[in-house]
Amino acid sequence: MLYHLGFIIVSLLIIVIPLLISVAYFTLVERKFMGSMQRRRGPNVVGFMGLLQPLADGLKLFAKETILPSNANIVLFVLAPIITFVLSLMGWIVIPFGEGAVVSDINVGILYLFAISSLSVYGIITAGWSSNSKYPFLGALRSAAQMVSYEVSIGFIIVTVVICAGSFNLSTIVLAQSKIWFIIPLFPMFIMFFISALAETNRHPFDLPEAEAELVSGYNVEYSAMGFALFFLGEYANMLIMSGMTTILFLGGWLPLFDIMPLNLIPGPVWFSIKLSIFVIAFIWARAALPRYRYDQLMSLGWKAFLPLSLGWLLFTVACLISFNWLPE
Amino acid sequence: MGGGPTTTHVTSGDLKKVVQDMPPAGGYPDVIFKKATINRGPDGWMIWVGSLLTVAFGFYRVGQCNLERNAAKKEKREARMAIVPYLQAEEDARAVAAKLNQDADEAEIMKGVKDWKVGASVYNSERFWAPPSPVEHPRA
C-alpha cells in the first residue's frame, strides 16, 4: 500500500516538476522569440543571456502581497486561480511521452483530456464573477462564449481522429499512425484543430478575454502576486497540453519522422518534445504576427466556418473508410 | 520631382483665370495593372490536384494500417480461443486439488464437532454453481 502510494507520488512529481520548469522557461522563450521577431533583444540582464529571468519573475510574484478586493467574494476569488492551475496539471497524467511512458494509460484518455480542457473555463468564469468588477466580468463572459464555441469543432475533429484510429486510448491513437501520421489525410482538420487550440487557450489572435486595450487585462485584472502567478502558470501549461494533444492526434506522438536507422535510434520522448516544441513556437509566432480578431469575426469563424467544415470532413472520413472497408475493429 | 515648395507670383489679372491641373496633352497613358501582378507559386488547379492526391494517399495508408491492425487483433483473439480448452483443463485440475485440500483442512479443524459433514455446501441450492474459470486464476 505504502509502496503503491509512493510510486504514485513519485510518478506525479516526475511529471509536475519538469512541467513547471518548462512552463517557466516557456515564458523566457516567448519573450526572447518575440524580441527577435520585433528586432530587440528580449530579457538579457538577469543571469547569462537572461536565463534566470523566469526565476526572478516567479520570486517577485511569490514575495508580493496578495491583495483581496474588499467587494470580492473571497472564497471564490481565492479558489478560481487554484481551479485553473490544478486543471491545467490534471490533463498531463494521460499524455504518453513514449511507449509506456504514461502515468495512467486509461482507455478513454482523449475523452478525459477533452473534459479537462473544457472544465478550465470554470476557473476563468469564477475569477471574473467573484472579482465583482466590470472588466473581469466582461472578460469572463467573452471567454466562456469563446471556449464553448470552439469546443464544438474540436469535438468533431477528435471524433474524426478516433474513427481513423478506432480507440479513445492515446497510446493506441499514436500507434495507429505508425504507417502515416494523421496530418496527411486529415490536413484541414489539423489546421482547424491548431486554430481552435489558440482560441481554446485564449491566445492571440483570439485573446479577447484579456484584450489589454479594452478590458485592461480581462478576467485577471484584480489578481496580483500568487493568484496571478497561478493563472499565468495555468495558461501556459494549457498551451503546452494543447500542443501535446496536437502532436498526439496528428503528428504521431513519440513516433520518429521515418522509421529508418538513424532516426529510430532517437528515444520516443525526445521526438515527442521536438514535435511539441514546434507547436509551442507556432503559438508564439501567432502572437507576434497576427492582430486581434474582432468578437463577431471570432464567432463567425467558429460557428460558420469551422463547425460546418469539421462536420463535413468527418462525414468524408467516415464515407472513405466505410467505402473501402478500412474501418478499424 | 520632389523638392521644396515652389513660389508662384500671382498678379491681380491671373486671379480671374481658372487655374486647374489638367492631364498632359494627349491624356494619361493607360495603367497596365496586369503587369504589376506577380505570378508566384503553382496554379490553383495544381494545388487542388496535389492536395487531393496527398489526402487520398493518406487515407490509403490509414486504411492499410487499419487492415494490418485488424488482422493482428484477429490473430490474437483466435490464439486465445484456441488455448482456452487447455487453460480450462489446467484450471479444473487446480480446482479439484484446491477442493481436496480444503476438505482435508476442514476435517482437521472441525474434528471435535459432532455431526459435522465435511465438504457440505453452506447453500441450500446448487443451482447457482459457477464453473472454475481460467480468467479468475490466470497462470503466469
Range of the domain at A223: 65-324
Query: Cα distance from B58 to chain A (closest Cα, Å)?
Result: 4
Compute how many other C-beta atoms are within 10 angstroms of the C-beta atom of residue B8: 7
CA distance B46 to A119: 43
Claim to verify: residue A153 and residue A272 sit in the same structural domain? yes
- Of A39, A63, A87, the residue that ends a domain is A63
A329 belongs to a structural domain: no
CA distance A139 to A145: 10
Please identify among residues 94-123 of chain A the ones whose CB lies closer than 8 Å to any CB of chain B: none
CA distances from A27 to A24, A30, A133, A291 (A): 6, 5, 28, 20
Cβ–Cβ gap A328/B51 under 8 Å: no
Residue A225, sorted as left (phi over 0), alpha (psi -120 to 50) or beta, turns out to be left
Mutate to test the interface with B, among A179, A182, A314, A317 (most CBs of B within 10 A): A179
Interval A85-127: pLDDT, tens? 999 999 999 999 999 889 889 999 999 999 998 888 898 899 9
Number of domains in chain A: 2
* A3 in reach of chain B (CB within 8 A): no
CA distance A250 to A182: 5
Q: Which residues in chain A are contacts of B66 at CB distance < 8 A? A: 164, 166, 176, 321, 326-328
Please, are residues B90 and B139 in contact by the beta-carbon 8 Å criterion? yes
Cβ–Cβ gap A179/B59 under 8 Å: no
Task: Specify the higher pLDDT residue, B14 or A169.
Answer: A169
For residue A269, say if its preceding peptide bond is cis, omega within 30 degrees of 0. Answer: no
Confidence band for B133, pLDDT divided at 50, 70 and 90: confident
pTM of this structure: 0.81
Rg (CA), chain A: 20
Average pLDDT (B34-40) is 71
Give every CB contact of residue A177 below 8 A, 6+ residues apart in sequence. Answer: A165, A252, A253, A255, B65
Claim to verify: residue A126 and residue A159 sit in the same structural domain? yes
The single residue listed with the C-alpha cell 479468475 is B136
The single residue listed with the C-alpha cell 504514461 is A102
Cβ–Cβ gap A326/B62 under 8 Å: yes
SS3 category, A202: coil
Claim to verify: residue A316 and residue A245 sit in the same structural domain? yes
Q: What's the pLDDT score for residue B16?
A: 66
Claim to verify: residue A28 and residue A121 sit in the same structural domain? no
**Which of A127, A130, A158 has its CA nearest to residue A143?**
A127
Residue B70 burial (10 A CB sphere; 0-12, 13-18, 19+): middle
Confidence band for B14, pLDDT divided at 50, 70 and 90: low
Q: Which residues in chain B are contacts of A179 at CB distance < 8 A? A: 61-62, 64-65, 68
Please, are residues A26 and A280 in contact by the beta-carbon 8 Å criterion? yes
Which cell is A290 given? Answer: 497576427
Please, are residues A108 and A168 in contact by the beta-carbon 8 Å criterion? yes
Please, are residues A176 and A158 in contact by the beta-carbon 8 Å criterion? no
- Of A43, A63, A83, the residue that ends a domain is A63
* A174 in reach of chain B (CB within 8 A): no
Query: Cα distance from B64 to chain A (closest Cα, Å)?
Result: 7
- Of A15, A39, A63, the residue that ends a domain is A63
CA distances from A76 to A71, A125, A130 (A): 12, 10, 6
Claim to verify: residue A56 and residue A69 sit in the same structural domain? no
Task: Specify the higher pLDDT residue, B60 or A15.
Answer: B60
**Cα A114 to chain centroid, rounded:** 11
Claim to verify: residue A55 and residue A171 sit in the same structural domain? no
Q: What's the pLDDT score for residue B63?
A: 95
Which among A176, A186, A324 has the least Cβ separation from residue B65? A176
Query: Cα distance from B72 to chain A (closest Cα, Å)?
Result: 11
SS3 category, A259: coil
Q: What's the pLDDT score for residue B4?
A: 54
* B53 in reach of chain A (CB within 8 A): no
Claim to verify: residue A184 and residue A100 sit in the same structural domain? yes
Which among A177, A187, A324 has the least Cβ separation from residue B63? A324
Claim to verify: residue A109 and residue A19 sit in the same structural domain? no
Claim to verify: residue A212 and residue A134 sit in the same structural domain? yes
Average pLDDT (A137-162) is 91
Burial A1-28 (b: 16+ CB within 10 A, else e): eeeeeeeeeeeeeebeeebeebbbbbbb
Which cell is A317 given? Answer: 472520413
Which among A179, A186, A329 has the least Cβ separation from residue B64? A179
Q: If you average pLDDT over every residue of chain B, what do you get?
A: 83
B41 pLDDT more than 90: no
CA distance B49 to B59: 15
A74 belongs to a structural domain: yes
A128 belongs to a structural domain: yes
Claim to verify: residue A35 and residue A141 sit in the same structural domain? no
Q: Which residues in chain B are contacts of A164 at CB distance < 8 A? A: 62, 66
Residue A14 half-sphere exposure toward CB, CA atoms < 13 A: 11
Average pLDDT (A30-54) is 91
Claim to verify: residue A54 and residue A73 sit in the same structural domain? no
CA distance A210 to A30: 18
Residue of A nearest to B74 (CA): A329
Termini Cα distance of chain A: 38
Confidence band for B46, pLDDT divided at 50, 70 and 90: very high
Which cell is A115 given? Answer: 473534459
Cβ–Cβ gap A326/B67 under 8 Å: yes
Residue of B nearest to A321 (CA): B63
Compute how many other C-beta atoms are within 10 angstroms of the C-beta atom of residue A222: 23
Claim to verify: residue A42 and residue A81 sit in the same structural domain? no
Confidence band for B60, pLDDT divided at 50, 70 and 90: very high
Q: What are the backbone angles phi and psi of residue A94, rounded to the nearest 5°?
A: -105, 0
State percent of chain A over pLDDT 70. Answer: 98
